[in-house]
Amino acid sequence: MKKFNISIIKGDGIGPEIVNEAIKVLNSISLKLDFRLDYKYYLMGGIAYDEVGNPLPQDTIDGVLDSDACLFGAIGGPKWDNLHSDLRPESGLLRFRDTMQTFANLRPAITYDELLNSSTLKSEVIKGVDLLVVRELIGGIYFGKPRGNDGQKAYNTMVYTKDEVKRIAHKAFALAMSRNKKICSVDKANVLEVSKLWRDTVNEVSNDYPEVTLSHMYIDNACMQVVKDPRQFDVILTSNIFGDILSDTTAQVVGSIGLLPSASIGVNTSIYEPIHGSAPDIIGKGIANPIATILSASMMLKYSLKEKKASILIENSIKNVLKDGYRTKDIASFKEDGIKVLTTCEMGDMIVKYIENS
């Protein structure tokens, strides 16, 4: 029997609720397909600061590095907003990504026919959307120095080296080769020097992938096009801050940010997490959508553990659950007949049931 060591970081807010449901699904799928998952739990974020005074304890770093992959919930909340910047949960997350060297953030956005009414966009615009945002995750303005704020003037620095751009571009082109062989690289090369280097380097890398069609788009136009005609995209390649903006924009396309998973592929390990935040306003209400976290766990099975059959079975079970009218509150449209609204825990249970009966 194959065995895998999985590090678990539940984090803050709704993190524990949604991760618990993903673990429930992982336990079911591993039992069904005869492999073993061993979990170890670690602290990060506000809860880590509360317990040990550090949003990213060394024990967490060591534990995640020693695992086959990490499943992560969410961090942050208003409770910690007034801490010094180095102690806030978000600073721990940035250091975590940098330490793990998770340079490639993969954020798929796929629409389900059963949820077309959950989006405010017209169903004929979003039907059949299947795009992948490939976001560079450990460079750019979030990590660039110098940076500072003296109360009168604040500044940040956007920096990319040619090698950093080549690394993420090769990852995006390789992914495009397994999809529809189209890449749109998003930048702001008309006004930013760093984007000019980005575009030149992506063009250079494209020579190694003659089968892939490459186009370029400015970030402002890209945001408009993702909402106007999302089906035109296959793989979107972009920088850290632009990828952050674009991938959240795709939430409006699919109908809820509670449906969007992500994989952060790294040099040292890989991290799998939903793209939504800790949602402190709905903690403990049982209405958080666990599907994005469960899909993140599915991506973990596919990319890190190479259990593709398990990943496909989870995805198909989610599709069938939605097809049969089961929803969490955020994706429930009462314009449809036969909709059954489930709690967070009930949605996890229902997906497990469909896995077991598949």
The residues assigned a catalytic role are 142, 188, 220, 244, 248
37 close to 25: Cβ distance less than 8 angstroms: no
39: exposed, middle or buried (Cβ count in 10 Å: 0-12, 13-18, 19+): middle
d(CA 303, CA 69): 10
Strand 2-11 versus strand 182-187 pairing type: unpaired
Give the up-direction half-sphere exposure of residue 5: CA atoms within 13 A in the CB hemisphere: 9
Which phi and psi (to 5°) does residue 50 adopt?
Answer: -60, -40
d(CA 105, CA 244): 10
d(CA 256, CA 275): 11
Alpha helices in the chain (DSSP H): 15-33, 46-52, 58-65, 89-100, 123-126, 162-177, 193-206, 219-228, 240-254, 291-303, 308-323, 344-357
Strand 104-110 versus strand 261-265 pairing type: antiparallel
